[in-house]
Structure 1
Amino acid sequence: MRNTRYALTISALLFSAGAIAQVQPPPAGQPPAPAPAAPAPTPAPPAPTKSAPYGAGLKVNLSPDGSKYIRFLTWHQVYTRYTENNAGTLRAPSKPQKGQLDFGLRRSRLVILAQLNPRFVIYTHLGINNQNAVGGGITPTVDGKKPQFFIHEAVTEYKVNKYLSLGGGLHYLNGISRLTSASTVNILPIDLPLTNFPTIEATDQFARWLGIYAKGRINKLDYRFSVSDPFLTNLTSTPLSLGSSATAAGVTTNTGTGVAAYNPQNTSHVYQGYVSYNFLEPEANLLPYFVGTYLGTKRVFSVGAGFLYNKDAMYSRPTSSVVAVTPAVSADPFGLVGTNKHSLKMFGVDAFYDVPLDTAARTALTLYGVYYNYNMGPNHVRFIGPENPGYGAAPTRGNAVPQSGTGGSFYGQAGFLLPEKVLGPKARLQPYVAYLHSNYEGLHYANGDTKAVNVYDAGVNVLLDGHNAKVTLNYRARPDFEGYVPATGNFNRLDYKPEITLQTQIFL
């Protein structure tokens, strides 16, 4: 711009000098000099380039008015991350490692959506998750190669009227909270807390269920309810694994631990529901995914509540249960060892507020908070680490934290979209913070004192083209429950470990 101004100034001076020369009389006896040619106009500086709005994405219209179409959505989320591992983590067989810089594919997905009639919708969601050099592959905890490209959702849906749609298949119409059906491409922080998916990969298929659902909107009230089958759990468990064995005088006895686990014999239906009321603008509900931040394009204030119920989904053995381990008992523990059954009872209440603040500066505010109350049987606690860099089956390996359990949890997040002038028209900055606080009855010191789970996240989204092209830098401080013993819930020491992640996302 400075060079342009200099050029304009010099051109104006030359033009003025030429004009003055034309009105001055020539010296006596000399013919007048020809008038100089007018200077060529200085070209205007090019306008800054702006990407066209993404709109409906990769959409192919099958009718002139666009009512019949097929649409494709695809995205990748790539991690570059430094992790200080939890105590005792292995990075390879018999190779302990304190920390490392690693690379991974957090998500790689494809959605195909088609509508050939305003009343009928079909969509398919495929992809992989959590692949790195250590895990996420065909054998997820010990092999990172050739991850399974599997179906996340396969749904057919019929619109009965403007208030009601019915659907079925492998679906994501979850209950409990807004985050339990969250979109992963437009969330505010780098990732979801995972506490919002309490049954993930235990009785569901990556937070999806085989069943039927009803959804719709009545004025400002949105609802979704579903009935599904629980998947047979892939977690190894028998009534004997709910106890600890000891041998004395040649006799082996097994004593219950009082810690609940997922019941391998669970065949009861799963009932879920979530209802929300939007005080401001309505949100799109064609697909099941809730938006995490609208970046100032919408005014939303939504309050909701939800639940999940699954009869006899958990089981346990009290410490008073003592059985002699005979060949018959070992061969048929489900028939000969008594257990207590427990139903999954999960509730959530949340609020989401996302509004533009200054239309001239294009700033926006995003706030979200949710409270969960989970009853998963006595002393149940489960550890999960997203795209875990640790090797092996230890529950506390790598970056794992207590993800779910019997007790209560609060999760909150806040973000602010900074003024457009900070980086200019080509990029936007959105700093954020997130906090998870959980109290689980089955996580305690040896003396019985429970200890809260606190996970802290702070970061910034660099939005190159909204959510369609963004880079996120996140710092996490997570708890490491050193010496944790699943059979008792005891741990020896609580320490906090850092995790720094750079994520690049492209969504088309």
Structure 2
Amino acid sequence: MKKLIMISFLIVMQSAYSQDSLAIKKKPEELPAKKNPLDIGDLKINLNPAGDKWIKFALSSQIWLRSIENNPGTMVNGVPQDQTYDAGIRRMRLTIQSQITPFYSIYFQVGTNNESFISGGGTGTGATGAGKRAPFFIHDAYNELAIIPRNNFQTGKPNKNNIYIGAGLHSWNGVSRLSNGSSVKMLAGDLPVFNFPTIEVADQFSRQFGAFVHGEFNKLNYRFSINKPFATNLTPAIGGGAVDNNKSGKLSYAGYIYYQFFNKEVTANAFLAGNNLATKKVLNLGAGFYFNKQSTLTQPLKDVFESHNTNIMGTDIFAELPIGNKNKEMGLTLYSVYYNYNYGPNYLRLSGVLNPGTVDPGFKGETALEGAGNNRVLMGTGSIWFSQAGFVLPKFSNILKVQPFFNYALKNLKALNEPGSYFDAGINFYLYGQNTKVVAQYSNRPLYNPTTKMIFDRKGEYLLSLQIVL
């Protein structure tokens, strides 16, 4: 895997050098006049001459190549394995956004996630082989009405304040910026996942059905929603921790606000960028929440059940700072967030993205609380502090930008007897802005003993991610 990452690095560098060389050799009259080579533009069709009725398309693809150090006692496809090489589709999306009238718009996104050689299977799982024909499902589907639009419909000038309302399957989430994070403008190879507090339990890939309002009041950006969570019905073990069970059917409430000290961001959709290559000076301070009554269940005694509320708070800071000579296009991106989670007593979730492993019943050594494959402690009742930083190196090419980055998460959860540190380190290679991105990343995670709930080992994972966005 290390050789694969090095080869990919050399290919990217050679491509950038070749493109620059060609550009130098061309005569001036052969080059496009006044065209930014990084500007690919939108896939947009105007439906009237004024341009206030339109339909816009977006395509994105993230392909992963990995080398995984498996947790002890892992089988892959029925064979014990300490290390696994795999390839998969992390995300593949088609987005359609349309403004039907100046006041009314729709947003629709479909796609697939997490298909590898052994996981993500839909109708193909079984006799035709594991992992084949993964489901293609709806991510977002909502309608939106402009009460006060971003731009005045008559003059076209920006309004100081704006407000929009909408309803449907949406991702106008609460808690933090990262809980509303864009999956195509990430700083690292992936989002940390614990930023979505009900991911794939009471939501559908971080979306819930409901109504929302969002907008701006001068430099204060806000979003609030009332939703109907997806149904959960897990049965807790006697004397065990809380599990997801919202049979009482209570609504959930979420909100997130942030103050923009410098440049303002345009929120034409729900997703907030984690990385804009520090092209503009940005400093945002935010806070948010998520609340769902009677959403989890414990069984302190046999046939005695107690319901618990989910109550999550987050506060964060996001900064992008251009540095030095503008011609060098250097910049620093920083983000830090503190989460306080309360799902009920000793609630704990374990998960591994694109996990290829299953438990080996014949394994005789020390096993991990996390289970098999690349499973890790994801989140639970307690707190998580997460920070990341990236730096765009000085410009040396008209085609390529390079950005090293580092992530760190400290998880202090009630069900464990020791806090755990998780980190990722890597380099982003950007070709034509953020439309094409190659990520080389190493991640490291702790493993907990299932009895002592203390850390006894650590495992790593190498990732090469190939991303295209149009």
Residue 481 of structure 1, CA deviation: 2.4
- In structure 2, relative to structure 1, the CA distance for the partners of 1:493 and 1:279 (3 Å cut) is closer
Q: Following superposition of structure 1 onto structure 2, how do residues 37-56 of structure 1 map, counting pairs within 5 Å?
A: 44=27, 52-54=37-39, 56=41
Q: Which amino acid aligns with 1:123?
A: Y
In structure 1, what is the equivalent of residue 262 of structure 2?
Answer: 280
How many angstroms apart in 2 are the aligned matches of 1:202 and 1:139?
22
Q: Which amino acid aligns with 1:154?
A: A
In structure 2, what is the equivalent of residue 251 of structure 1?
Answer: none
In structure 1, what is the equivalent of residue 132 of structure 2?
Answer: 145
Q: Following superposition of structure 1 onto structure 2, how do residues 66-465 of structure 1 map, counting pairs within 5 Å?
A: 66-93=51-78, 95-138=79-122, 143-162=130-149, 163-233=162-232, 237-238=234-235, 242-243=236-237, 256-318=238-300, 321=301, 323=302, 337-358=303-324, 359-391=326-358, 396-421=371-396, 424-443=397-416, 450-465=417-432
Question: What are the Cα deviations for residues 279-333 of structure 1, in whole angstroms up to 9, with x where unaligned?
Answer: 0011011100001111132221100000000000011022xx1x4xxxxxxxxxx
How many angstroms apart in 1 are the aligned matches of 2:66 and 2:187?
19
Equivalent residue for 1:499, pick from 458, 461, 466: 461
Q: Which amino acid aligns with 1:419?
A: P
Residue 237 of structure 1, CA deviation: 2.4
TM-score by length of 2: 0.85
Question: What are the Cα deviations for residues 353-407 of structure 1, in whole angstroms up to 9, with x where unaligned?
Answer: 0121131211011000000000011111101111222236995221111111000
Structure 2 unaligned segments of length 5 or more: list them: 1-24, 150-161, 361-368
Q: Which amino acid aligns with 2:460?
A: P
- In structure 2, relative to structure 1, the CA distance for the partners of 1:134 and 1:480 (3 Å cut) is farther
Q: Which moved more, 1:279-288 or 1:158-167?
A: 158-167
Residue 257 of structure 1, CA deviation: 1.8
Q: Which structure's CA Rg is the greater one?
A: 1
In structure 2, what is the equivalent of residue 14 of structure 1?
Answer: none
- In structure 2, relative to structure 1, the CA distance for the partners of 1:226 and 1:392 (3 Å cut) is farther
How many angstroms apart in 2 are the aligned matches of 1:292 and 1:229?
28
How many angstroms apart in 1 are the aligned matches of 2:423 and 2:52?
45
CA contact (8 A) 2:46 2:55 kept: yes
Q: Following superposition of structure 1 onto structure 2, how do residues 460-479 of structure 1 map, counting pairs within 5 Å?
A: 460-479=427-446
CA contact (8 A) 1:372 1:410 kept: yes
Residue 277 of structure 1, CA deviation: 0.3
Question: What are the Cα deviations for residues 243-275 of structure 1, in whole angstroms up to 9, with x where unaligned?
Answer: 3xxxxxxxxxxxx22311011514100100001
In structure 1, what is the equivalent of residue 157 of structure 2?
Answer: none
How many angstroms apart in 2 are the aligned matches of 1:217 and 1:426?
35
Q: Which amino acid aligns with 2:261?
A: F
CA contact (8 A) 1:120 1:159 kept: yes
Q: Following superposition of structure 1 onto structure 2, how do residues 54-69 of structure 1 map, counting pairs within 5 Å?
A: 54=39, 56-69=41-54
How many angstroms apart in 1 are the aligned matches of 2:58 and 2:26?
41
- In structure 2, relative to structure 1, the CA distance for the partners of 1:115 and 1:452 (3 Å cut) is same
Structure 1 unaligned segments of length 5 or more: list them: 1-41, 244-255, 324-336, 444-449
Q: Which amino acid aligns with 2:399?
A: K
- In structure 2, relative to structure 1, the CA distance for the partners of 1:224 and 1:493 (3 Å cut) is closer
TM-score by length of 1: 0.79
CA contact (8 A) 1:198 1:403 kept: no
Q: 3-state SS of the aligned residue for 1:425?
A: coil
Q: 3-state SS of the aligned residue for 1:164?
A: strand
- In structure 2, relative to structure 1, the CA distance for the partners of 1:56 and 1:287 (3 Å cut) is farther
CA contact (8 A) 2:418 2:453 kept: no
Question: What are the Cα deviations for residues 123-153 of structure 1, in whole angstroms up to 9, with x where unaligned?
Answer: 1011111110121122899941111100000
Equivalenced residues, count: 420
- In structure 2, relative to structure 1, the CA distance for the partners of 1:189 and 1:47 (3 Å cut) is farther
- Residue identity (%): 39
Q: 3-state SS of the aligned residue for 1:420?
A: coil
How many angstroms apart in 1 are the aligned matches of 2:284 and 2:124?
37
- In structure 2, relative to structure 1, the CA distance for the partners of 1:347 and 1:47 (3 Å cut) is farther
CA contact (8 A) 1:83 1:99 kept: yes
- In structure 2, relative to structure 1, the CA distance for the partners of 1:475 and 1:454 (3 Å cut) is same
Residue 117 of structure 1, CA deviation: 1.6
How many angstroms apart in 2 are the aligned matches of 1:217 and 1:198?
25
Residue 86 of structure 1, CA deviation: 1.0
How many angstroms apart in 2 are the aligned matches of 1:296 and 1:136?
35
Q: Which amino acid aligns with 1:480?
A: L
Q: Which moved more, 1:260-269 or 1:339-348?
A: 260-269
How many angstroms apart in 2 are the aligned matches of 1:479 and 1:302?
32
Q: 3-state SS of the aligned residue for 2:59?
A: strand
CA contact (8 A) 1:273 1:306 kept: yes
